[in-house]
Each structure stands twice: as structure tokens, then as C-alpha cells.
A and B are shown apart, each in its own frame.
Chain A
Amino acid sequence: MSEQQDNAQLHAQFDRVWGNLPGIGALAAVNHTSVGLRFIVTGLFFFLVGGLLAMLLRTQLALPEQSIIGADLYSQLFTMHGTLMMFLFAIPILEGVAMYLVPKMIGARDLAFPRLGAMGYFCYLFGGLIILSSLLLNIAPDSGWFMYTPLSSSTFSPGPGSDFWLLGITFVEISSMTGAIELIVSILRTRANGMSLRQMPLFCWYILAMALMIVFGFPPLILASILLELERAAGMVFFEVAGGGDPLLWQHLFWLFGHPEVYIIFLPAAGIVSTLIPVFARRPIVGYRWIVLAVIVMGFISFGLWVHHMFTVGIPQLAQAFFSMASMLVAIPTTIQVFAWLATLWTGRVVWNLPMLWILGFLIIFVAGGLTGVMLALVPFNWQVHDTHFVVAHLHYVLVGGMLFPLIAGLYYWLPHVSGRMPSNVLGAWAFWLVFIGFNVTFLLMHLTGLLGMPRRVYTYEAGLGWDWLNLLSTIGGFIMAIGIAMFLLDIGMHFRFGRRAPRNPWAADTLEWAVAMPVTTYNFISLPTIRSRHPLWDNPQLPDEIERGEHSLATIHHGLRETWGSDAVSGRLRERVHLPSNSWIPLQAGLALTVVCLGLLLKSYWLALAAVLVSTVIMLRWSWHNGGHPRAAPLRADDPCDPPLHSRTLDGPGRWGMLLTLMANGSLYASLLFGWFYLWTAAPQWQAPEQGPLDVPLLLASGLGLSLAVALYHWLNRQLQRGSTSQLAGGLWLVALLGVVHVLLLVWVLLLAELSPTGSAYDAVLTVMLCYLLFHGALAALLSAMQAVRVQRGYVSVRLPYEPQVLQPFWSYTLGVFWLGFAAFILLPMAW
């Protein structure tokens, strides 16, 4: 009895430390379960709105020569349908699922950067609502979800529609990026003790690949959106032919993001499939390593396909053939996975449950979509069906089959986790068959509509072209599918009230997320187990009870801190105790301030936007202030644990990994800018570069010298700190900050002396963006170093707290690298040409 009381006390203590604040305080929640569920619910909301728009589109197309919806509104509706489904539904909901599941699967209590995830959610919610508001105001973007220039440029889209898209989507992408970074770091650095890469659940491999793809794949679009908005709002030239720009640059940058995006959506869904199939086949997955290899190969090859969206723009045949081959090649890793799934089902004892029904639908629809994908990879066929409904049918087969079906399978599968109840087989099965039949009636026929020549994005069509009955049936199919989705929602709604109580681990699964209590607690595990197997719950069915009784490690609360294990990225060996932040209002404040920035830019109230930028900066600096040895985080104490130590007492905690990943994303953005520079230089029809470069080279060299000195000094100070000497640390950091300021001032001088005309020529426009990019990095590095100096003086950074300067060091190195790379690309190379 007393043991039970002790256990209950322990759980109560964990609840106090890990629980959300009551009432409105829930908005300050940062734990991954709350944030993940918010992403999922919000994603479902945007899915419903997107689906509603689709129904309006199908109603308009049901019969020829209808005018229920006019051409202008139709353009807004199909643009918003694509935008909502891709940016506000697919990515966020899958990231939400991953945020909810990953820590539970790897035996952690939370993600590595809880506040970042919470801020990402607010950016997503507010950004999504801003985009959606444009539709209510009848000023929505109307150039298609890929916003091709010049259609989306100010000449042909003078209204605010394109601005809503460019600013809103960039804002929402903050959440994709923050989610990706925290997922990667969590998977690599906070796994349960002993869980090596070899034992990691396949779902985590998929999420790792997806998140890395976001890190490298999203920046080209972020850059393109910034450039197009600068062109629209400030008249700078990037995509206008007249000033030396090129509209095709937009297409390259967009599809450099856009094609990997398809795989970014598919991979997590395939991760759900790879998790569910072994559970329902009652055996380990066939070919674990082959699947891992396939996922990694897909992650790379899918970046080499982007031009297959541009086969008709006039690219040499040989170049098209490269992309055609790569497009066919990517089918191979996909096929490896399909065969592994089939082999697992073939050799297992399959239990046909509701989630398996949706998986079956996935297999049929996705394989069909994959096959039409191989057809589209062939250049001559692609030319024939380009911009027809065949492509619309293909992409829906791939995306609905490859994402929606596995997602619903996963939602049903993990539903007991959230509700503590089992899903209904009757309503769920009805929903499945209606969606499955409705989907195929809509889109299978649409292949034929496309082959008969019906173009995409037309609001109506003449009667008698052979498309009438096909369109009518597609519309009927669409409504059948909509009824199926409504039934799914009804099922979910009723489930929470009438569902039968679920036992623990109701599907007899093998992965660790089923070891938590149901409904789940905010801390997941009261004690953290050591994992030596890919199937911890199959190997030890008693594990959930052992965890619950606190029999494993870290079953104590240390000075009220939220803690989880930090482990080695490869072996999963224990390395440190990661202390995590508690409930905080800062993510909401940051999200709101960034919303004002977005609105200010949209309304062209630039002073308001600037003020909001300053407020956001202050909020984020305050955020970074409450870290490490700060009294609100983990101040130094005599009884600090040593084996393993708190991560802020080491040289290499999760924050440093987060910094490195942020810099990778930043590097991808910079590489995209360099690509834009070289592309315009070599391909823009009216590109003009002056004989004599406009920048003052000696002054630029002096600026670079200041930066180099700052970085060298910073590295030296850091080495001294690692050796245990801090005598010159504070003064040295002030000097570093001063050198950074000198570098920035000289760069500003270079910019002012150059008298660039970014509204007159693309050359000057790109150069201006590059200089501003360098200025931003120099200024931020100087500011952060000054903050570090103050923190040394306050005792938050010391020999025992050497962590933060290690986190900042890669940022300085990056700033130095991009400066000299920029110097080579913008000064030296044109000189040598």
C-alpha cells in the first residue's frame, strides 16, 4: 500500500512540474503532446476548408457552360484549394503527428526545443488565418498554388492576393522549419539510453529524412517568396525580363522546393504505413535495412527531379533526359518499400482491422499514382498531357493515396492514445468505402478527361467535347468522397463519447509509444527505460508496468526541472541530462509580434512592420536570455548532477545541434541566392552587368578583415574557455562584438557608396539582397556576442557553464564563410570573367 502511495505521490509531483497551466494558461503550454495535438486539429480544420473549396470547384465543373462561379472567383478557389491542402494541411498535420509521436517512440519526455514548437504553432495558426481571411475578403491569391511569374507579378496581379500568399506562406513556413529542426535534434540526441540507430523505430527514420528535406527544401521557396515580394512591393527586379530578370528563375526556385515537397508529404505517411503493417501482420517488418536505405535514397534523389515540372519551358533534350531518368529512378526506392510492405503482409498473420482497411486503400491508390508518375517522367508523354486534367488526376492519386489514406489509418490507430477508447469498425468502414469509391470515381475518370484534352484551371468548358459525362461523374464521385469524410468526422466525434474503453496497448504493438498511460500524461514516462531492441513491447510486455512503477531511470524531479535523457546520435548511449523549459508565454508573444510584422507588410504600413520587428527581436532575445545558467532555467547548484551532467554544463548539447541545422537551412537559402545570381547571369535574356563593379573593393576587404579578426578572436576565446580559463572572456567578447560592429559599419558604407539601383536592374537588385544578407548576419553575430559578454559578467557563462559560446561559434564561422563566398562570387568571379 505504501509503495502505491509513493508511486501516486511521484506521479502527482511529475504532474505539477510537467502539467499545463489551467484555463487560459493552456496557451502557454509548450509540451509536445499539447502542441502536436493542436497542429493536428488545426490541420484538420484547414483540410475541411480546402475540401469545401474543392466541392465548389467540382460543382462548377459538373456541367458544361455553367456560371455558378465566375472565372475570377474560380481562380481564387483553385489557388486556395491547392495552397490550403499543401501548406496548411499536409505538412503541418504530418509534423503535428510527428511532434506528438516521436518523443513517445524514442522514450523521451518531450521534444528538444519545446518553446520553438509552441511558437511554430502560433505562426502556423495566425499565418493560416491571414491567408484564409483573403478568401473571405474576396481578394485571395489567384495565380495557382505555384504562383508562376509573371502572372503573379504586380503587372498581371495588381491586387493584394499574391502578397497574401507570399507573406502568409513564408510566415507559415517558419513553423515547418522550427518543427523540422526540433524533430531532427530530438531524434538524434534524445533517444532512450541504448536505442541505437539500428534499433530506432522506422517511423523515426522517415521523420528524420522528412525533416532534413524540409531543412534543405524549403529555403529555395522562402528566398523566392522574399524576392517576389520585394519585386511587387518595392519594385526591385528579379523576375521581370525588362530589367535583366527572368520569370523562369521563379519556376526553378519554386520546384526546387515543390518537388521535394511531394516526398516531404509522402515520407511521414509511409512511416505510418511501415509502423502499422508489422503490428497488424503480427511480425517484424521485412527488410528493415532496405527500407532505411530506400528512405535515404529517396530523400536525395527527390531533389533531382524538379525540372520534370518544366519540360515544356524550352530546356535542351539532354537536360530533360537527365531529369526524366532521375524521375524514373525515384520509383525504385518507392518500390522497395512497397515490396517490403507486401512481403510483411504475405508472411504475417494479418489482422484485418479498421486502420488496415485504410492502409489497403493506400496501397492500391498510391501504386496507381506512382505508375502514372513514371508515365509523366517520359518527356514526350509529359508534353502531351501537360497542363491537362491527367496531371490533376495523377497528383491527387499520389497525394490523397500517399498521404490522406495513411494519415487516417494512423489517426484511427493512435486514437486510443488520446481518447482512451477504441474506434468503431462500422462507421469507420463506411467512411472508408465511401472515400475510396468516391475518390476513384472522381480521379480515375479524370485521367481520361485529361487524355481527351481538357486543360487544368479553366472555370468552364464547351458542351460536346466529350468531357461532359466524365466531369459529371467526377463531381458525383467528389460528393461521395465528401460524404465519406463527413462520416469519418462523425465517427471521430462520436468516438470520444461512445467509444468502447481501450485496454493498454490495444493493438498489441511493438513500439514504445504504447507504453505510456492512456489517455497520455504530459511527461509520457515516469521513468525512462534502457532500450536494446527494435520491438521493446514484444520483447518485454511488462515494460509499461515497470515504467509506470518508476523502476527505470530518471524517476526523480531535480529542483523542479523538466528533464529527459540526452544520448549519442549513433549508439544512443547516455550522454547528458537535458533540462527543458517549462510553460512559457514567450512563444505566443513572439507569434503575435511576427503576425503584426506580416500584417504590417501586407497593409504596406512599413513603420508598423519595423516596430513589430523590433518588438519581435526583443522578445526573442529575452527568450534566449532565459536559458542555461539563468535562474529561470538551471542555475548552478552545489548538488548539480555529474553522471551524466546537465547539458548546459557540457560543450555539445542539443542547442548546438539546433544551431548547426539552422545554419544548414540558412546555407540552403544562401545557395539558392547564389543559384539565382548565376542563373540570371547566364540565362536571363536581358541581363546587364556593368564593366566596373559598383562596390568599393578595398572597403569591402577592410570589412572582411574586421569580420575575420572577430571570428579568429572568438575561436581563441572559446578554446581558452574549454581549457578552463575565463580571465579574458568578458573583455574578449566585448572586443569581438566591437569588431563585428566595425564590420557592419564598413559594409553599410560600401552599400551607401555603391549607389545601387535595385529597381532598375536585376544585377543591382541581387547585389543589394546579398549585401543585406551579410549585414543581417554580421549585426546579429555582434549583438549575440555582446549578450554573451553580459552573461559572462552575470555568471551565466563560466568554466562550469561553457555551453553557450559553443552554440554561437558555428554562427560566427558561417557568417565568415558566406562573406568570403559572396566576395568570390560577386567580386572575384566577374573580375576574372
Chain B
Amino acid sequence: MGLTRTHPLHLILGLSVWAVWFVVLYGGLSVACKLAPPDPAAGALSWINMLLLPLTLVVVALLAWAARWCWQGHADSDSLKRFMARSAACLYLLSALATLAVAMPILFLPPCI
């Protein structure tokens, strides 16, 4: 059985991606600050912020795409499959929004102070 649009794994996949991204964000920041802390004067325009931001956008794009993909699959299905596909799509979308929300401080704060 492949990973169809109605597979139950989709109920946890989006938020798992969010969790991994969150660990990379926090862990990456900590390690980067330890190894090569940028000049505090650079503020939010440091190399760390510039690295974390596109990473975040890639994750958001991936999650948004997955949400759309799951949503498209529900039209001609039975009620259970429709339930699974719609729920999965919503969860991918919520994961994308959670990623965006948590990442917002990257735009404003210097990384290592």
C-alpha cells in the first residue's frame, strides 16, 4: 500500500515535519552560535538568520503543497476517505501556519544575544 492521499500517516506527517524543522531551527541556532557567532551589530541580518529563513520557507512550501495534494484527492471518495483526506489537508495547512508563526522572530531578532 503506497502513500495514497487518504493514508492515515498523513495525519501525523505534517506535524512531524514541523517537529523536525523546530529541532533543526533550535539546535542549528545553538550550534551556529557556538561555532561562528555573527557580529551582534548585524542584528537580524546575520548569516544565521539568512540561513534559517529560506529553510523555513522551503518547509512551508512543502507543507502547503502537501495540503493541496491531499485536498485534491477527496472529491470522488467515500465518506471515510474524504474524512481522512480533508483532515490530512487541514493538518498540513496548520503545520505550515505553525511553521510560519514560530519562524517570525527570525525577521526581527539577532541570533546569539
Question: A322 contacts B26, CB within 8 Å?
Answer: yes
Question: A317 contacts B98, CB within 8 Å?
Answer: no
Closest CB in chain B relative to A208 CB, distance in Å:
11
Q: For the complex, is A748 an interface residue (Cβ under 8 Å from B)?
A: no
Question: B18 contacts A300, CB within 8 Å?
Answer: yes
| Given known contacts A325-B101, A325-B104, A326-B22, A316 and B83 CB-to-CB distance under 8 angstroms | no
29 A-B pairs whose Cβ atoms sit less than 8 Å apart in the complex: A196-B80, A197-B8, A197-B83, A293-B91, A297-B91, A300-B19, A301-B15, A316-B112, A317-B109, A317-B110, A317-B113, A318-B29, A318-B105, A318-B112, A319-B29, A319-B30, A322-B25, A322-B26, A322-B29, A322-B105, A323-B26, A324-B105, A326-B22, A329-B98, A329-B102, A569-B8, A570-B8, A571-B80, A683-B30
Q: For residue B84, which residues in chain A have a CB less than 8 angstroms away from its CB? A: 197-198, 570
Q: For residue B12, which residues in chain A have a CB less than 8 angstroms away from its CB? A: 296, 300
Closest CB in chain B relative to A58 CB, distance in Å:
39
Closest CB in chain A relative to B8 CB, distance in Å:
5
Q: For residue A319, which residues in chain B have a CB less than 8 angstroms away from its CB? A: 26, 29-30
Q: For residue A317, which residues in chain B have a CB less than 8 angstroms away from its CB? A: 109-110, 113
Closest CB in chain B relative to A657 CB, distance in Å:
13
Q: For the complex, is A486 an interface residue (Cβ under 8 Å from B)?
A: no
Contact with B along A329-348 (1 / 0, CB 8 A): 10000000000000000000
Closest CB in chain B relative to A652 CB, distance in Å:
13
Closest CB in chain B relative to A164 CB, distance in Å:
33
Binding site for B on A (CB under 8 A): 196-198, 289, 292-293, 296-297, 299-301, 303-304, 307, 316-319, 321-326, 329, 569-571, 678, 682-683
A323 to B105, CA, bound (A): 10
Q: Closest residue of chain B to A569, judged by CB?
A: B8
A-B pairs, top 7 by smallest CB distance, nearest first, are A321-B105, A300-B15, A198-B83, A318-B109, A325-B102, A196-B80, A318-B111
| Given known contacts A289-B86, A319-B26, A569-B8, A329 and B101 CB-to-CB distance under 8 angstroms | yes
A297 to B84, CA, bound (A): 15
Q: A303-B19, A304-B102 are in contact. List 5 more A-B contacts (CB 8 A).
A: A292-B87, A301-B18, A322-B25, A323-B26, A682-B31
Question: B102 contacts A326, CB within 8 Å?
Answer: yes
Q: For residue B45, which residues in chain A have a CB less than 8 angstroms away from its CB? A: none
Question: A297 contacts B94, CB within 8 Å?
Answer: yes
A678 to B103, CA, bound (A): 24
Closest CB in chain B relative to A379 CB, distance in Å:
10
Q: Closest residue of chain A to B86, judged by CB?
A: A289
Question: A318 contacts B83, CB within 8 Å?
Answer: no
Question: B34 contacts A570, CB within 8 Å?
Answer: no
- Which residues from 67 to 113 on chain B have a C-beta closer than 8 Å to any C-beta of chain A? 79-80, 83-84, 86-87, 90-91, 94, 98, 101-106, 109-113
Q: For residue B86, which residues in chain A have a CB less than 8 angstroms away from its CB? A: 289
A296 to B13, CA, bound (A): 11
Question: B105 contacts A297, CB within 8 Å?
Answer: no
